[in-house]
Amino acid sequence: MNLFEAVKTCWAKYATFSGRASRSEFWFFILFCWLLRDVAYYIDVYVLSDLTRITDIAMLQLTVNLLIFIPNISVTTRRLHDVDRSGWWQLLYITIVGIIPLLYWWIKKGDDGDNKHGSNPLQ
């Protein structure tokens, strides 16, 4: 799956918390979100800060973060389903130590066959 397919799939499954997501779908969407946030940051800092005269509120960044919040949780849930974990495990992200197992599961190859969350997304 390439970047455009991953973004298209994640927006099509905007609030779909069932099923599975491959590593490429997950990581390409995360990359897209990071790039989108960076672009919003630079537009806020270098373009909109002079126009709005409100330097404390980055409205474009806030808007982008609100738009990608649910799809980000959704694709993370589906990625955890791919390694046969519950989507609730992403709450470990709140803790500092919890990032380590999450990174491992996000990087780990998904189950080859079907699991309780659905069929292999790569087949």
Provide the mean pLDDT of the chain: 89
Q: Contact at 8 Å (CB) between 105 and 89?
A: yes
The answer to whether position 116 is within a domain reads no
Q: What is the pLDDT of residues 66-84, one digit of tens each?
A: 999 999 999 999 999 999 9
pLDDT confidence tier of residue 113, bands split at 50, 70 and 90: confident
Res 11 pLDDT > 90:
yes
The answer to whether position 50 is within a domain reads no
Task: Pick the closest to residue 21 from 121, 116, 101 (CA basis).
Answer: 121
Q: Contact at 8 Å (CB) between 98 and 85?
A: no
The answer to whether position 114 is within a domain reads no
The answer to whether position 21 is within a domain reads yes
The answer to whether position 76 is within a domain reads yes
The answer to whether position 23 is within a domain reads yes
Instruction: Give the global pTM.
Output: 0.87
Domain count, the chain: 1
Beta bridge partners of 115: 118
The answer to whether position 83 is within a domain reads yes
Per-residue pLDDT, 46: 80
The answer to whether position 117 is within a domain reads no
Range of the domain at 73: 3-36+64-107
Q: What is the pLDDT of residues 12-70, one digit of tens each?
A: 999 999 999 999 999 999 999 999 999 998 888 887 766 556 556 678 889 999 999 99
Pick left, alpha or beta for residue 40 (phi over 0 → left; psi -120 to 50 → alpha; otherwise beta).
Answer: alpha
Task: Pick the closest to residue 29 from 42, 14, 19 (CA basis).
Answer: 14
